[in-house]
Structure 1
Amino acid sequence: MRIAVTGGTGKLGRAVVAGLRESGDQVFNLDAAAQRPDIRVDLTDYGQTLSALTAVDDRYSAIDAVVHLAAVPAPGVTTNAATFHNNITATYNVFAAAAAAGIDNVVWASSETLLGIPFETPPPYIPLDEEYPARPEWHYALAKHLEETMAAQFCRWNPALKMIGLRFSNVMEPADYAEFPSFDADPHLRKWNLWGYIDARDGAQAVRKALDYDGTGVEIFIIANADTVMSRSSASLAAAVYPDVPVTRELGEHETLLSIDKARRILGYEPQHSWRDADPL
């Protein structure tokens, strides 16, 4: 496929671009920070976005699928309003331009923050899944919530469209794993996302699976690694930090508390990388 990846210069984006190219796809990175041979695009400008998803001179004359990762990547990077305006505008432009260009295969980065992060209000149950209504607590998460709502309406307008939102957990690269043992001293340090993470390479796997998924309409998936960032057991973490939160089933020793059951069942997603297997740095 000819795939446009927005934000391919970022932490997750680099892994996604590399993974798709290894699969044999033609991949074009559209990014405000791009340098040749990538393509510089301001996604908050609809005209630029539409042009980029239609044709670019000697690069391509059409695009088959879009992976939208570009965004202010987290809360607190800039002001609340700037984060919200940038992310919701860029995502609307990508969704609308893809529709105008006749692209019916769209995968985009939603966020684990919709689960209620940073859980100052405890989660409704553990492990968390996609079944309860979104609980955005930050302006960053509010934009992500509206993106999911927007995708549902685009799919209602066009029943042939497939849009898959991936609620990525905290993205990590192998170099980040050296810090993980320091989390063990205090389980409260990482309670804000229930001790979850996603290896960027497994994030790329999820994108590949989502692009290949044969379906229509909007689907939302939590994408995390199969384990937590902690050495202590998942059951002990839940009991120590959230003793009043129901645990809905027996937990594996280090099982993620951000359930990936739906992604496993529907997409065939299965994490291949863990910080526990990384070479010590």
Structure 2
Amino acid sequence: MRRRCVVSGASGLLGRRLVERFVADGWFVTGLDRGPFPLLPYAPDEHHGIDLSAPHDLAPLLAGTDVLIHAAAIADLGRGYSEEDVLALNTATTARLLFAAVRAGVRRVVYISSQSVLGLSRGPDLVPPSYLPIDEAHPVRPRDGYALSKKLGEDLLALLCLRDGLTGIAIRLPVVWEADHFSEHVGKRIGDPQQAARSNWAYVDARDAAQGVALAAAVPAGGYQLFNIAAEHAFCERSLSELVAEYYGRLQCRIALDGSPSLFSAERAMEALGYRPRYRWSHSAILDSGKALTV
């Protein structure tokens, strides 16, 4: 019998890659999203057009689910959303889904969180990290409504794991890059050095993000765990050691910066989950384990 997963935000940039990965791995995949699933070579086994920010009885959609993957969120201001909207809608959506999952008997949840909970990448000014590389123990200090909504989601999942016996895995991602938008992603990173420093020059290819989530969905049962998932290398034009000194000043650095290692560390996921980032972005191409791809 096929295992069943439900992917919220299935039509989004990351959601599409999650569907692709879980379908390829043989799961029965149910997608939840306000919009239809795009016309792609792969698709969920079933898809429900539903606005998760509005009250619904979600338990019937979740019945018989082995893993809930909660990726749905409003990530940016604009499109008619204020910061208050982003905070309220994201928090309400996460609460509705997670409480419905408990009622429906779902025993495992993977929650897509964000590097922004650290308070480094989305604040109004540049705040250096406390130390490098940034791991899961780094102090958390969200400085905008989106980041706070993601931290509240982590906290709610941890609560339900403790109180109701869920197995919950929160995945913190830096900015997710999709190959179809190669020029756009690279252009933004090169064109805004200040934001690159805020983001610790970190990113993750959407396919590697999906790999990390798929691995998290299979961890042994029991309790709450948190993992960073990121590319193995920083994306920067200049020497990383020079950039760190220029933008962060003097701080504790536990790794050598030669070779531009990622400053947003996925070491815990590599050790505990077997995560192996496959895609490295350069200014002219995406490298697949060292081999250049056409973009």
Structure 1 length as normaliser, TM-score? Answer: 0.90
Matched AA of 1:173: E
Give distance in 1, aligned partners of 2:200 and 2:94.
27
2:293 corresponding residue in structure 1: 279
Equivalent in 93, 96, 107 of residue 96 of structure 2:
93
Cα distance in 2, alignment partners of residues 133 and 257 from structure 1: 15
Q: Which residue of 79, 90, 107 corresponds with 2:110?
A: 107
Q: What aligned pairs does 1:214-253 form with structure 2 within 5 A after superposition?
A: 214-253=220-259
Q: Give 2:138's match in structure 1, choosing from 132, 140, 143.
A: 132
Please tell me whether residue 146 in structure 1 is matched to residue 152 in structure 2. yes
Distance 1:145 1:75, change over 3 A: farther
Determine which of 34, 58, 63 is the counterpart of 1:49: 58
The aligned runs of 1:7-86 (5 Å cut-off) are: 7-34=9-36, 38-54=47-63, 62-75=64-77, 78-86=81-89
- For 1:70, the aligned partner's letter is A
Structure-1 residue corresponding to 2:168: 163
Q: Which has the higher contact order (CA 8 A, sep 6+)?
A: 1
CA–CA distance in structure 1, aligned partners of residues 203 and 158 of structure 2: 27
Partners of 1:46 and 1:98 lie apart in 2 by 14
**Bigger strand fraction:** 2
Larger mean CA deviation between 249-258 and 107-116 belongs to 249-258
Give the direction of change, closer, same or farther, for the CA distance of 1:76–1:247 in structure 2 (3 Å limit): farther
Please state whether the residue corresponding to 2:231 is helix, strand or coil: coil
Q: Deviations over 1:149-198 (max 9, x none)?
A: 11111011123x11111111101011333352774577434112111111
The CA RMSD over aligned residues, in Å, is 2.0
CA contact (8 A) 1:65 1:106 kept: yes
Displacement of 1:90: 0.5
CA contact (8 A) 1:19 1:205 kept: yes
3-state SS, counterpart of residue 27 of structure 1 = strand
| Distance in 1, Cα, partners of 2:251 & 2:69 | 36
Task: Tell me, yes or no, if the aligned pair for 1:181 and 1:231 is still in contact at 8 Å.
Answer: no
Task: Label 1:134 to 1:75 Cα distance change in 2 as closer, same or farther (>3 A).
Answer: farther
1:207-264 Cα distance to aligned partner (Å, 9 max, x none): 1000011131111111111112213332222122112222122234121110111111
- The aligned residue for residue 40 of structure 2 is none
3-state SS of 1:149 partner = helix
Q: 1:173 aligns with which of 173, 178, 182?
A: 178
Output the CA distance in 2 between the equivalents of 1:73 and 1:49: 22
Measure, in 2, the Cα distance between the counterparts of 1:70 and 1:27: 15
Deviations 1:126-156 (A, max 9, x none): 1111113311011111111111111111011
Sort the Cα spacing of 1:253 and 1:181 in 2 relative to 1 into closer, same or farther, 3 A: farther
1:99 positional shift:
0.5
Q: Secondary structure at the match of 2:171?
A: strand
SS at match of 1:269: coil
Give the C-alpha shift of residue 92 in structure 1. 0.6
Residues paired across the two proteins, number: 273
Task: Evaluate the alpha carbon distance shift between residue 82 and residue 184 of structure 1 in structure 2; reply closer, same or farther with a 3 A threshold.
Answer: closer
Does 2:125 align with 1:123? no
Give unmatched runs, 5+ long, in structure 2: 38-43
Shift of 1:108: 1.1
Give the residue type in structure 2 aligned to 1:158: D
The separation in 2 between residues aligned to 1:169 and 1:125, in whole angstroms, is 17
Q: Name the amino acid aligned to 1:14.
A: R
Instruction: Flag structure 1 segments of 5+ consecutive residues without an equivalent.
Output: 55-61
Name the SS of the counterpart of 2:155 in structure 1. helix
Distance 2:160 2:74 in 1: 23
